[in-house]
Each structure stands twice: as structure tokens, then as C-alpha cells.
Amino acid sequence: MNDVIGLLAGGVAVVLLAALAIWGWTSRRATARRIEAAATRIEGPEVELSSGGGLEGAIGRLERAVDATGVRSVESRAAVDRMAQALESIDCGVVLCDEAGNVVYRNTLAQAYAGARHAEALAEQATEDVLRAALDGDRQSRTVDLYGPPRRNLKVAAFPLTDGRRAIGAVAVIEDVSERRRLEAVRRDFVANVSHELKTPVGALGLLAETLADEDDPGVTRRLAERMQLEAARVARIIDDLLDLSRLEAEEAPVREPVAMHLIVAQAVEQVMPAAEHREIAIRVGNIPKRLTVVGDRRQLVSSVYNLLENAVKYSSDGDEVEVGCRASGNFTELSVRDRGIGIPSRDHERIFERFYRVDRARGRDTGGTGLGLSIVRHVLTNHGGDITVQSREGEGSVFTMRLPTGPGLVAVPEAG
């Protein structure tokens, strides 16, 4: 009996062990399949499911997939960081939104318009409008004028983003086009002013030539010819000044060499003396230390002083005086030109340095001016790291003061008081 019981017990044990073995093998196989499926989801559907290797092989594949995913994650984060830095470095605001229209990114410039209450709110509203249009596949752009201060012009443009099948978002770019518009306005004004300035003498030449063709009196013929010479010279002066101005704008880095100020002033006075003597205007030059220098292009510097002197002579009355002074002030050299002419209204103090701008247009044409002299002066000083100021009242004359960094040869000592 005991033997029978023992045999039965042994049989049950074998069956249980066999059952456990079958269950374990089945469980490991199912686990391996689940791991393989997880690895496939990580690696992507293009990677085929492995059919061998068992549980250990599946675990190994999963580990490799996780490692590869970690590498890709690090590379993706680096790419995102690079893209964010690139978007921060451009001079435009950038706004990204997802397919639902939710903003997911703004660079710093665009952040300034988010939640704005004043003029910037117009830019934010325009950004939202063009983004909505871009999500519908429509590329749009708008121009927004912000009246400031300061006054600005913004161009807001949006573009749809797709994955090749559907929209996945949109991007808006906010660009400040204020300087571009200002330059376009300057260009238009310049072309109009040049055309107007040249039209007057050219028209006069045409009329004089027509009159000369029918004139038999030698005296009248001589006077008409002299008048034609004056008008031709006026056209030549306009062209020369335009060429000088063009060269100055192109020469952002002029020749740098020490130049003595007394030599610059002497050469400029010599050039303007014929016009001054013609109107009996005396040019008084104060004492200029011979060791006082500035660093720059001598030709440009002489041109700037000459144009200041010519301007003073043109707007002075016959028999007046023009005074020239020069001194060291701190680390700068100041040269002043004083006249006792018609003066300049305060409203025009800034505009007189614009091309072709004249306070008294009729007087400017009578004196043969081109309206470019003070513009040339400002460009020369800008190229040399200097500036120019004016003090003037109507009927009391003007004082123009140009400042340039002092060069070697004299240690400029700040004045007391």
C-alpha cells in the first residue's frame, strides 16, 4: 500500500514539475514577445520584430533601443537649443504656434508684444490674425504703424507649417522696418531734390541759349554768355558736391594720419578767399597752436572747414566779418566759425544738415549754393568720430562748432571751470 502511495506521489510530482516547466517556458516566451514589441515601438515600425534570442535576446534588444533613444534625445535637445539660440540672435520677433493655434514659443523680441496694452498691442493683434490665417494655409503679411514715441513701422508675416500631409502649426515673423522706410523716404527726397536743383540751371541754360541764338548785339551776347557760364558752373558745383558726398558715404574708414589744424584752416581759408574778397568779407583767424593736431584724412577735413567758411560767407552781408577759432577742450579739438549773417530759426537747427535743405531757398539760389555743404560737413565729422553743433538766432548770425578727437602732438588739458 505504501508502495502504491509512493508511486502515486511520485507521478503527481513529475506532472507538477512538467506543468511548471511548461508554464515557465510559456511565460518567458510571452514576456520575450512583450519586450520585443516594446523595443519595436521605441525603434519604430520600420524595424522588423526579432524571431529569435529568447528572453535574454529581447532584453538585450530593449536595452539597445533605450540607449539609442537616449542618444537621439540628447541630440534633439541640442538641436532645439541651437535653434532657440539662432532665433534669439536674429533682429526679428518670432512666434510659433501648434495646429490648435496655441503659442508654443516666442523669442525675446516677440515676448515684448505679448500682453502689451499700448501701441504694441496692435502688433500682438496683427500677429494673432496672421497666425490664424496661416493655420488655414494662407500666407499673410501686414504692416503696423506704431506712433510711439518713438514712431516705428512693423511688418508682420505668417507662414503655415506642414508635415507634408496636414498643418502642424504656423510661424509669425515680426520685423521692424522703420529704418528701411526712412532710407526709402530719404532716397525719394534725394532724387526729387536733385531733379529740382538741376532743373533750374539747366532750364536757365536752355533759355539763355535760345535768346543768344537770336541776338545780334555784341554787348548783350557777351552778358548772355557770362550768364551761361555761371549757370554751367552751378551745375558743375552740384555734381562735384554730389560726388564728394558719395565718396564720403563710401569711405567709412578714411585715411588716418595726424594733421595740424592750422594747416587745415589755412588751406580752407585760401580756397574760400576769392568768394570772400568778391563781397569784401574779411576772414579773421585766431591763434591756432601749431602742435594742435587731429587724426584723419586731410582732404576731407579741409573740405569740411571750407564748406563751413563758404556757408558763412554766403549768408553774411557785404563787408561783414567771419571769425575762425580753434582750441583744445578735453580730449577733443573744437573749431568754430562765427558769422553775423541772417541767422537760422531754431526750428531749422537740425534740418540744415539735410541734403539740399535751405533756410532761405531764394537766398541760397542767389548765392549759388547747392544745399549740400553742411551735409558734407556732417558726413566728414561722422567718419572721423566727431560731431557738429550750431548756435544761431535770426538776425544775429550763427556759430558752427565742429569737434574732433585730438591727435598726437599736444596733450589737451581740460579747461578750468
Inter-residue contact 116 to 124 (CB < 8 Å)? yes
Question: What residues does each domain of the chain span?
Answer: 2-81, 90-176, 195-250, 255-417
HSE of 50 in the Cβ direction (CA atoms, 13 Å)?
23
HSE of 25 in the Cβ direction (CA atoms, 13 Å)?
6
The pLDDT of residue 13 is 40
The pLDDT of residue 38 is 66
Using one digit for the tens of pLDDT, what is the confidence trace for 389-415? 888 888 788 999 999 988 886 444 444
The pLDDT of residue 15 is 38
Q: Is the dihedral of CA 6, 8, 13, 18 positive or negative?
A: positive
Using 50 as the pLDDT threshold, list the residues of the chain that sit under it. 1-23, 25, 361-365, 367, 410-417
Residue of 275, 291, 295 whose CA lies nearest to 283: 275
The pLDDT of residue 240 is 76
| DSSP single-letter state for residue 360 | S
Inter-residue contact 167 to 137 (CB < 8 Å)? yes
**Taking the model in full, what pTM does it have?**
0.53
Instruction: Report the CATH architecture of 90-176.
Output: 2-Layer Sandwich (3.30)
255-417 topology per CATH = Heat Shock Protein 90 (3.30.565)
